[in-house]
């Protein structure tokens, strides 16, 4: 669990009184979860909220933008999408030492390595985990981002064209070893751009452990969380990113989520394939997924370079995260997966 700076409950209470109106004393507790920003539970009378703020030490200048997160949640609060209801945000760092925002707490769980007990008991429903994942994503991608006040966010024109050059520049800034496949795939991405999709809201890190599932049957996503990487761009990158983590029978997928094959994980024989889920998304959105292999290559390549940044911090003695040593081997595997996708395109 990351180190959580203590929250000054009295100071937070004063700010809440001035922002939302007077209320009873509050209770604050640190929560696990959130790979980037810190998460706290805040109880105030009958209100049950989650507070998100950046860590004391930032790993990257743009990786902990909680106010950007809040802006997306606020924009989506009245849309037919599954997001926590935004409550309030504070830019004034004198209150808690960093910007923060509050959202209503959703009583669900992410799926990372284990399923909720109710799902374990009903393997025939495991396919719904993936179907819900693409259905909730389709709802987000259907939102008119201009109409909800996000017209000035991001640079949707040229979004796909910028990806390879942008991430190659990032890698050059922390490069500690040669990765020939990274350069090879980058060239291919630049030379094989598909026709641009109609821009939409892009979550940026969409997968089963960044959504909250109900803990009881039926299988249902209650809320999509962790919006700090959100932008306006090509929505198919979200789909490819989600499918990068989806298990499939008969393959060794090093990025699989859901504990596939474990007693308390996803039952592989019950799952739709990635092609099935892509077809479901296409039917729900009307978007053309015929060039999904391009987005798969981009997603695997981008994830590899993101993880390489963490590996770089580890080898330079700047990270003690116990997961980072494994990235020495995971990054090359992801780059090989990206390269294989280029052969399928």
Residue 156 is given by DSSP the state: -
How many residues make up the chain in this entry?
345
Residues of the chain with pLDDT under 50: 1, 59
Q: How far, in Å, CA of 65 to CA of 56, rounded? A: 13
Which tokens hold the place of 196? 């641009």
**Domains of the chain, start order:** 9-104 (3.30.200.20), 106-153+205-290 (3.90.1200.10), 159-195+291-345 (no CATH)
CB 125: neighbour CB atoms within 10 A? 17
CB environment 214-248: b (16+ within 10 A), e (fewer): beeeebbbbbbbbbbbbbbbbbbbbbbbbbbbbbb
Residue 23's pLDDT is what?
Answer: 96
Which tokens hold the place of 119? 């799902």
How many angstroms from the chain centroid is the CA of residue 1?
Answer: 19
CB 236 within 8 A of CB 295: yes
CB 6: neighbour CB atoms within 10 A? 10
Who contacts 149 (Cβ-Cβ below 8 Å, separation ≥6)?
75
How many angstroms from the chain centroid is the CA of residue 269?
Answer: 26
The CA radius of gyration of the chain, in Å to the nearest whole number, is 20
Which tokens hold the place of 85? 């209801």
Quote the longest CA-to-CA distance of the chain.
61
Q: What is the pTM of this model?
A: 0.94
3-state secondary structure of 252: coil
Q: How far, in Å, CA of 143 to CA of 339, rounded? A: 33
Which tokens hold the place of 220? 């249902």
Nearest to 265 by CA among 257, 273, 255: 257
Residue 63's pLDDT is what?
Answer: 53
Which tokens hold the place of 91? 């830019």
CA distances to 133, 151, 165, 222, 267 from 217, in Å: 16, 38, 45, 12, 16
Residue 58's pLDDT is what?
Answer: 55
CB environment 284-310: b (16+ within 10 A), e (fewer): bbebebeebbbbbbbbbbbbbbbbbbb
Taking the CA atoms of residue 254, residue 258, residue 260 and residue 266 in that order, the dihedral angle to the nearest 10 degrees is -160
Which is it for strands 38-44 and 47-53: parallel, antiparallel or unpaired?
antiparallel
Q: What does the angle CA 193 – CA 194 – CA 199 come to, to the nearest 5 degrees? A: 105
Helices and strands: H and E segment counts in the chain: 11, 9
Q: Is 114 exposed, middle or buried (0-12, 13-18, 19+ CB in 10 A)?
A: middle
Q: How far, in Å, CA of 232 to CA of 149, rounded? A: 12
Which is it for strands 231-233 and 200-202: parallel, antiparallel or unpaired?
antiparallel
Crossing angle of helices 292-315/236-244, nearest 10°?
60
Who contacts 290 (Cβ-Cβ below 8 Å, separation ≥6)?
none
């Amino acid at each position: 669990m990351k180190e959580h700076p203590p929250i000054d409950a009295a100071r937070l209470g004063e700010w809440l009184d001035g922002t939302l109106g007077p209320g009873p004393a509050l209770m604050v507790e640190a929560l696990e979860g959130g790979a980037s920003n810190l998460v706290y539970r805040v109880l105030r009378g009958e209100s049950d909220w989650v507070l998100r703020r950046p860590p004391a030490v930032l790993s990257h200048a743009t990786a902990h933008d909680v106010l950007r997160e809040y802006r997306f949640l606020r924009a989506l609060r009245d849309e037919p999408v599954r997001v926590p209801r935004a409550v309030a945000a504070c830019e004034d760092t004198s209150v808690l030492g960093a910007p923060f925002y509050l959202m209503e707490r959703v009583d669900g769980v992410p799926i990372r390595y284990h399923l909720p007990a109710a799902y374990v008991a009903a393997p025939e429903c495991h396919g719904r985990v993936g179907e819900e994942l693409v259905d909730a994503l389709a709802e987000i991608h259907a939102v008119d981002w201009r109409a909800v006040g996000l017209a000035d966010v991001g640079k949707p024109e040229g979004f796909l064209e910028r990806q390879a050059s942008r991430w190659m520049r990032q890698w050059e800034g922390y490069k500690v070893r040669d990765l020939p496949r990274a350069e090879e795939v980058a060239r291919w991405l630049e030379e094989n751009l598909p026709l641009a999709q109609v821009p939409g809201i892009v979550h940026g890190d969409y997968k089963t452990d960044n959504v909250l599932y109900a803990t009881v049957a039926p299988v249902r996503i209650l809320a999509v969380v962790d919006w700090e990487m959100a932008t306006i761009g090509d929505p198919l990158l979200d789909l490819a990113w989600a499918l990068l983590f989806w298990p499939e029978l008969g393959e060794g997928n090093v990025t699989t989520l859901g504990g596939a094959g474990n007693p308390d994980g996803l039952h592989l024989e019950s799952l739709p394939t990635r092609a099935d889920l892509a077809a479901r998304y296409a039917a729900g959105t009307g978007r053309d997924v015929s060039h999904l292999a391009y987005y798969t290559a981009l997603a695997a390549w981008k994830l590899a370079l993101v993880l390489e940044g963490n590996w770089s911090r580890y080898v330079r003695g700047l990270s003690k995260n116990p997961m980072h040593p494994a990235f020495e081997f995971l990054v090359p595997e992801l780059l090989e997966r990206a390269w294989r996708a280029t052969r399928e395109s």
